[in-house]
Every structure is written in C-alpha cells, then in structure tokens.
Amino acid sequence: MTASTGRWQPQVLWFPMGGLLGAVAGGVTGLVILVVIQVVLAVQPSSGGIVLGDVVYGVVVVLVVGGLAGAVVGLVVGVEMALLVGAHLPRDVVRRRALRLGFVLPPVTMAAPFLLSGSVDLSAFDGRHVWGLMLLTGATVLGGPLAGWLAARLPAAPPAGADHHAEVS
C-alpha cells in the first residue's frame, strides 16, 4: 500500500512534459536506428559506402518524424502518468512509480493499437518487423529513466492534512 498525503489529485505536469520527453526519446531512438542501418549498409560488400548527403538528410527526417511520433506517444503516456502518478503522493513513491511505469507505458501505448486491431500477427513473426521491436526497445530503454528524471523534479506533494482551500485572512 502506498502512502498518500491526501485526496487523489492528478499531476497535470506529466501531460506537457510527456510530449516533450516523448519527442526527445523518439528522436534519439530514430537516430540510433539510422546509425544501425548505415553501419549495416556500410559493411556489406556490395555497398558503395556512406554518402554524407544521405546521412544528413536521414538525420533530419529521423529527428522530425521520430520526434513528432515520440511527442504523440508521449502526450498519451503523459495523460496516463498524470492519472497514475498523482500530485498527492510523496516524492519517493512518485519516483519509484514513475520509473516503473516509464518502462512499461510507452511501449504498451505504442503497441496497443496494432495488437488490438489485429494488424500484427505475433505468431507469424518472420523478422520483417524488426524495426518495430527496435522502436519498442527504444521506448522502454528511454521511457523509464526519463520518467524517473522528471519525477525527481516535480513539485513535492503538500503535507498530509494541509487544507488547499483554506482562505487566507
């Protein structure tokens, strides 16, 4: 059972910060995938080498597309975190809960629409969707630490029994 300092209250800062942190995570994940693709292409014998113009263009596209996709996922995860990691909880509980949920919620949020719609058949995985696994891995690896980092910087919960609605005389 977690300690609470009062009535349940959502922490609304998770929503905008979820979008920002999601954009960072999406951009970083996209860059890592781009680097892996370039390295794999460069070591192939039939490769003509790495063309700098293609790499620069790829970096811009990855940052924009990865950042936008990450921001959208981050906004949804931000709503989930605002509801599950409320402002009424003590700071140590917030940090632990944010870290754990940060590892779980981003990949679940990304995969849920595909799994629920039936557009991905996990029983017939043949390696064509390895990029999807890379995206989910990036969301997991970056989601937990970024959520934990943000949780440590959120305002502390008011002390138990504090009356937020008391009038100042």
pLDDT profile of the chain (169 residues), mean per 10: 68 91 90 79 67 74 87 94 89 91 92 81 70 82 91 76 51
**Any idea where the domains of the chain sit in the sequence?**
14-42+50-119+130-151
- Count the neighbouring beta carbons within 10 Å of the beta carbon of residue 148: 19
Find, among 153, 158, 163, 121, the residue nearest to 20 by Cα.
Answer: 153
According to the model, what pLDDT value does residue 5 have? 55
Find, among 103, 82, 109, the residue nearest to 13 by Cα.
Answer: 82
pTM (2 decimals)?
Answer: 0.75
According to the model, what pLDDT value does residue 3 have? 58
According to the model, what pLDDT value does residue 167 have? 47
Residue ranges of alpha helices (H) inside 9-51 are 14-43
